[in-house]
Amino acid sequence: MRPGSDHTTGRRITRVVGRIGRPHGLRGEVAVQVRTDFPEQRFAVGAHLASDAGRMLTVETVRPHSGALLVRFAGVADRDAAAQLSGLVLTADVTARPELDDPDEFYDHQLEGLAAVGSDGTALGTVREVLHAQASDLLVLETDHGEALVPFVREIVTQVDVAGGRVVLDPPPGLLD
């Protein structure tokens, strides 16, 4: 199971699609760590991306390189200008999101607000948000005992029923305490 990383801002939905790393070469390219299942759409030439610093960037060139993408943005012509972008998180407007073909993939907004129940139907809490960690994605649950982090893996999250408004959990002992 894999969630995406949608963030709702008013009526507009944005999705984190990458993080800018170091400059590459002398002509303004930067290495981008991809955080989307749709890099060919999100990083297409001409695509407009927003940064967490409020700057809008337009993809001018893109090419794969060592598990990342090398991207040059319009108006970024040299290594010094590229270095100023280092560390920025990139988001794309995904109000018109592509349909997910895999029934085990979900957008974050589809999971947030779902009731979390045990395999016996016992109420365990509510999914408040989805965190995207390096090791695994996590569901952040609001429980009677406070916040709980639940790894979003099939062994623990046994069923996601978006239409029914719930996720079924089989947590190991102590996970929700």
List per-residue pLDDT tens for the chain, 177 residues long: 544 444 444 445 678 899 999 999 999 999 999 988 788 888 999 999 999 888 999 999 999 998 899 999 999 999 999 999 999 999 988 665 666 666 778 877 789 899 999 999 999 999 999 888 777 889 999 998 899 999 999 999 999 998 899 999 999 998 888
Q: What is the pLDDT of residue 93?
A: 80
Q: Where do the domains of the chain lie, and which CATH numbers do they carry?
A: 2-93 (2.40.30.60), 106-169 (2.30.30.240)
Integer Rg of the chain from CA: 19
Cα(172)–Cα(142) distance, rounded to whole angstroms?
17
